[in-house]
Amino acid sequence: MEILRQAVSVIAHDRERAAIALLRYASPGWDGTPAWTIPGGKVEPGEQLDVAAARELREETGLLTDPERLRLVHTVQVREGWDGKGAFLVSVFLATTWSGRLTNVEPEKHLEARWAPATGLPLPMFASAHAALSGYLAGGRGFSTHGWGDGFDPRSLVEAHS
């Protein structure tokens, strides 16, 4: 029986500055090249998705938000993660209000945290983060898949820019 792992991510969008909070993930991915991503991580057993999203945002960036103020904006179903541990579903929330200052809280995991222009997101970027950000910024349908013969190779987001 296949277990579908559950993850959450947060698009922290500073609309006044037209900027998105991003993290440059240091751990090796597809080819060992660091890649950009949005804050997020695993949902703990029994944890509500919005609570998990607010927790991950705080743990990775230092930004504090109320889970009730988060809005679900995208879902990504991934057939196989770059970690080789199988399928996962990412629920992506939008945060437009928070307190605190964007900080690289986990320097052992991330090379940097920064506000990036929403119109010029940096590459390389993890496929799930890229799909979520592209869908959200384009006002798309709010759902995407990866790994079901879609012809998109996530390594292209890394290899083309390494």
**pTM here?**
0.87
The residue written with tokens 């590459």 in the block is: 123
User: What does the H/E/C string look like for 51-62?
Assistant: HHHHHHHHHHHC
Encode pLDDT of 36-51 as tens digits: 999 999 999 999 999 9
Longest dimension (CA), the chain: 46
67 to 73, 85, 97, 136: CA distances (angstroms): 14, 28, 11, 19
Encode pLDDT of 115-155 as tens digits: 999 999 999 998 889 989 999 999 988 998 877 665 555 44
Distance CA 48, CA 66 (A): 13
Q: Is the peptide bond before 122 cis (omega within 30 degrees of 0)?
A: no
